[in-house]
A and B are shown apart, each in its own frame.
Chain A
Amino acid sequence: MTDAMSLGRSTSGEADAPLPRPTGGPAIAQRSAAPAAARSVPAFRGLRAVLANRKARIALMILVPIRVLTALLPWLPLQAPLQTNLRAMMKPPSFTFPFGTDRMGRDVLSRTLEGVKVSLFVGFSVAFISLVFGIVLGTVSGFFGKVVDRAIMTVVDIFLAFPSLLLAIGLVSIVGTGLVPVIMAIALADIPRFIRLQRSLVLGLRSRAYIDAARTVRASQWWLLSRHVVPNTIASLLVAASIAAANAILVEASLSFLGLGIMPPEPSLGNLIRDGQTYLEQAWWISTLPGVVILAIAISLHFLSDGIREVLDPRSRK
């Protein structure tokens, strides 16, 4: 899955993006991104602080091994995800098949890992896309105000009127199924929330004395935004982004479960659960074990966002 492997590049790419303040967030989920963050000192401080947080550490202790396993999948002594084995159908968990096999004798563990790869890719892609659009449109809306603000916020309010799952279902049924349409559909439903959040953060920062101080020396709008406004919003947005990632993973699983997402035989956590649903009484492991993995990932991401928030705002602890 080269798509999923590119995940590492996309997160570190964000750290180098023109918005200059990389903080721990996505970089942590991906070890390879850490050196990029280390280049700038505040980000490194942020990363260290996040690692020192107990909740964030627990989350990473779950997420990092899962991600490493998915990357090592081709070299693990497991049956390939798409390979069927008619001599071992519906076998319960054992040493050769730790998660058991399904009705066509496929290895549930390797299919789950393959599904996790897709899920994480969906989660982080959605978070990243929402983050970028949210920052750009939210900043413009909050900082410049007036007509632009009114136009953007009207569209945002229309989108926010629909529940995100419903919106995603609607969009997928228009653009079709598959990985990219699913990501686009979920992101489109999330972007308005990010715009809202970023706009409110920018409104709060706009009247800070340091912005006035920079204005008195005739700093350009670009200088104000890139130096003073956006860097001070990134941290809060990362909290929202990690929750959005968890949410996106669940929405993708729901879509696939409904047959609107990733299409079989390509595995995804959602369609794995759907496949096993029919055999829940004879072979509980087919649905249950991928479900447990989704749960673990979603909880970890929530823990991660809690951890980031606690680092940013120590008062929220307790």
Chain B
Amino acid sequence: MTYAKSITDTILDVRDLHTHFFTDTGIVKAVNGVSFELRRGERMAIVGESGSGKSAMAMSLIRLLAHPGRVVEGEVWLEGQNLGSMTEKDLNGIRGSAVGTIFQDPMSSLDPVMRVSDQMIPPIARHLRLKPKEAREMAVGWLDKVGIPDAARRIDAYPFEMSGGMRQRVMIAMALSCNPRLIIADEPTTALDVTIQAQIVELLRRLTSETGTAMLFITHDLGLVSRFARTVAVMYAGRIVEIGPTASVFRKPRHPYTQSLLRTIPRISGESRERLLQIPGFPPDMKRPVVGCAFKDRCPAAHARCLEETPEAQRRGPDHAAACFLPNGLDDAPVAVAAVAHRTADEERPWRSLPRQDVLEINNLTRHFVGQSLLPWVKPPTVRAVNGVSLRVRRGETLGIVGESGCGKSTIARMLLGLDEPTSGEIFIQGTGQMVFQDPSSSFNPKMKVADIIEEPLVVQKRGTREERAGKVRSLILQVGLDPSYLDRFPNQLSGGQRQRVAVARALALNPSVVVADEPTSALDVSVRAQIVNLLCDLKEELGVSFVFISHDLSTVRYVSDWIAVMYLGEVVEYGPAEQVFQTPAHPYTRALLDAVPVLDPEAEAEREIRVISGELPSPMNIPPGCAFASRCPKVTPLCRDEKPALVQRRPQRQEACHHAG
């Protein structure tokens, strides 16, 4: 941080950048006049929902746009060189040397058939004019710096021999290896688990402040911004609507869009039972010309002037600017912004008179996937995905299951619904279970209309006459907050949030007692996520449906759940009431997970001591004999490596599997 303050010259200067995509159905104006400056060593975050033009903007800087896209106007100056007027050949010299890039998906950004060394060494040799041997030493040095164990040997590995986190480290090493002055990172941690994300962010922060490299960091995760960035630019409909120092923007956001965004996210700390704010409507269609302010249709403070004039960025403080006519955004709105209603839990609901019994009970559930043995006398490899899990869910309550990928949470979901057979153990469901899936794009048959999709469970189960079913479908779609006119549409005519509503309607068709939701919000934008979370909470209140909510997004899980089960390597390591588990985590893994999640307060983030747990999940094919978490635990003792801790109750309602808890 001291480095950034001492040298303040501008490294990147973007002036009035316009990028259009010339598609068959019209010109998509993805970027509409973006200007900003980036100083040496500065870390700037670009945030915005999907379609806001943030990636198109970043790729425009070094002209790496996909086919129909073209920069139509504007200048990009990198250290006094105009990148816009450069030839493709000169630009190639800049890419990779002066500017490094890190992409979102570590699975596809490395060439799968080339060794890491073959992808890493030639660029270093070329850009820094080194001999192959020196370049190799340098590459090994960088891999070592980004935390690849045994780098001298691992450099000759193929990408498929590495985990996602390792590959992202390799990408970072590659981006930094030619001493770039600027790094462009497009959602570099989105595909990773929270603990790995925390490690990568820490690494980027440390390395960029050591080398004084400036960084442009594209993300949709506001928590990460508060942990990582010094400056933040909020993009909406291809323009920067607010830009300023992170601390100042988070403390007092001035643009209504920023203000709304910050309120749609459930907090990880403190009391949280208010309804989430949801931003109504959709972002504008970028194929049509935008008249006036692009946010006017979704802004509660919009007035006559917003309909005609486009607000320009105006100064709101030191380095802080917002593109809104109202100096304080929503706080200046003449009409009071609809107050966030508190949940009315005490309202009379018919289901409340029913006994609060368990509707779902799992006893000692295991699921082992046995592979194929190469030789008949060799024991076949076995993946122990679920290893003795017992849980129960009462009527009208939500159980949240959290854990990183590979912890067995989705396997449990599949077994609950009969999509997979348990190896051993029992599942009792009173009534029926239904599922809401993660990916709204593959959860519907593209050839079926919404009406047929919602009706399908009723038809399969031969419930009612055709008219009765049609009536039920109508009431279901109203229940999830969609207009019945949507019944005639096909899934590809719906937005992500609307599809997830239809998925909920389909899950409710048979009046299930339990709905299993596997990552139902992780594919959605933040503003839409709030809508779905509110919907699920409302349905729980109204119908007394129990939910099993599976997610890696801790703040959302905390918001919706009454009970939390934290899973690690196929086992529950901590179980208890959601509030208590989050406020006083007992298991070191739970604590590590909570530490890994950034809070939405840059000042608190700066003070917070982040204990990033090192290492990665052990392979579920080869689970260690003692405590599964022993390889990463900061409190590990010899006892942990020898003896497996059982899930025991030490305090009322709380259970944890740790020798050293309490």
- A interface residue numbers (CB < 8 A to B): 21, 42, 208-210, 212-220, 223, 227-228, 231-232, 314, 317-318
Contact = CB atoms under 8 A, between A and B. Distances in A.
Interface string B441-473: 011111110000000110011000000000000
Interface stretch (B242-250, B429-437, B568-576): B429-437
A232 B446 contact: yes
Q: Is the interface of B mostly helix, strand, loop or mixed?
A: loop
19 contacts: A21-B447, A208-B442, A209-B439, A209-B442, A210-B444, A212-B419, A213-B435, A213-B437, A213-B456, A213-B506, A216-B418, A216-B419, A217-B434, A217-B456, A217-B457, A217-B461, A231-B445, A232-B445, A232-B447
Interface centre among A42, A210, A218 (most CB of B within 10 A): A210
Given A210-B444, A218-B460, 5 more contacts: A42-B447, A209-B442, A210-B443, A215-B418, A218-B418
Contacts of A215: 417-419
Interface of B: 24, 67, 414, 417-419, 433-435, 437-439, 442-448, 456-457, 460-461, 506, 510
A210 B437 CA distance: 9
A274 to B, nearest CB: 46
A209 B491 CA distance: 14
A209 B443 contact: yes
A217 B437 contact: no
B512 to A, nearest CB: 9
Contacts of A210: 442-445
Contacts of A213: 435, 437, 443, 456, 506
Interface centre among B434, B439, B456 (most CB of A within 10 A): B456
A133 B198 CA distance: 54
Contact of A223 (B443, B446, B460): B460
B600 to A, nearest CB: 32
A212 B460 contact: no
Contacts of B510: 217
Contact of A214 (B67, B414, B460): B460
Interface centre among A42, A213, A231 (most CB of B within 10 A): A213
Contact of B461 (A218, A228, A231, A318): A218
Contact of B434 (A208, A209, A216, A318): A216
A318 B419 CA distance: 41
A310 B274 CA distance: 49
B452 to A, nearest CB: 9
8 closest A-B pairs (Cβ-Cβ)? A209-B443, A217-B457, A209-B437, A216-B417, A219-B460, A210-B445, A209-B442, A217-B460
Nearest to B443: A209
A268 B557 CA distance: 71
Contacts of A220: 460
Nearest to B516: A216
A84 to B, nearest CB: 55
Nearest to A41: B449
Q: Is the interface of A mostly helix, strand, loop or mixed?
A: helix
A231 B24 contact: no
B445 to A, nearest CB: 5
Nearest to A220: B460
Contacts of B460: 214, 217-220, 223
Nearest to B491: A210
Contacts of A219: 456, 460
A46 to B, nearest CB: 10
Interface centre among A209, A215, A318 (most CB of B within 10 A): A209
A75 to B, nearest CB: 42
A50 B506 CA distance: 32
Contact of A228 (B433, B434, B445, B457): B445
Nearest to A317: B24
A316 to B, nearest CB: 12
A314 B438 CA distance: 25
Given A217-B456, A317-B24, A212 B447 contact: no
Interface centre among B447, B456, B461 (most CB of A within 10 A): B447
A67 to B, nearest CB: 29
B646 to A, nearest CB: 33
Contacts of B414: 212
Interface centre among A216, A220, A228, A314 (most CB of B within 10 A): A216
Nearest to A231: B447
A227 B455 CA distance: 13
B302 to A, nearest CB: 35
A263 to B, nearest CB: 45
A232 B641 CA distance: 51
Nearest to B447: A231
Contacts of A232: 445-447
A210 B460 CA distance: 14
Contacts of A212: 414, 417, 419, 435, 437
A318 B446 CA distance: 24
Contacts of B445: 210, 227-228, 231-232
A214 B447 contact: no
A218 B457 CA distance: 9
Contacts of B435: 212-213, 216
A208 B447 CA distance: 14
Contacts of B448: 227
A209 B435 CA distance: 10
A119 B418 CA distance: 52
Interface centre among A212, A218, A223, A318 (most CB of B within 10 A): A212
Nearest to B23: A314
A70 to B, nearest CB: 35
B611 to A, nearest CB: 37
A18 B448 CA distance: 17
A288 to B, nearest CB: 39
Contacts of B419: 212, 215-216
A232 B446 CA distance: 8
A21 B437 CA distance: 26
Contacts of A228: 445
Nearest to A235: B447
A232 B457 CA distance: 19
A213 B448 CA distance: 14
A279 to B, nearest CB: 50
A231 B449 CA distance: 14
Contacts of A21: 447
A201 B24 CA distance: 28
Nearest to B416: A216
A299 to B, nearest CB: 24
A220 B456 CA distance: 12
A136 B457 CA distance: 26
A228 B448 CA distance: 9
Contacts of A218: 418, 460-461
Contacts of B457: 217
Nearest to B503: A213
Contacts of A223: 460
B518 to A, nearest CB: 9
A217 B454 CA distance: 12
A220 B417 CA distance: 15
Contacts of B67: 318
A231 B445 CA distance: 9
A231 B510 CA distance: 25
A216 B435 CA distance: 8
A227 B447 CA distance: 9
A214 B419 CA distance: 10
A258 to B, nearest CB: 44
A215 B24 CA distance: 39
A219 B506 CA distance: 14
A183 to B, nearest CB: 31
B511 to A, nearest CB: 12
B507 to A, nearest CB: 8
A294 B417 CA distance: 56
B522 to A, nearest CB: 14
B373 to A, nearest CB: 18
Contacts of B437: 209, 212-213
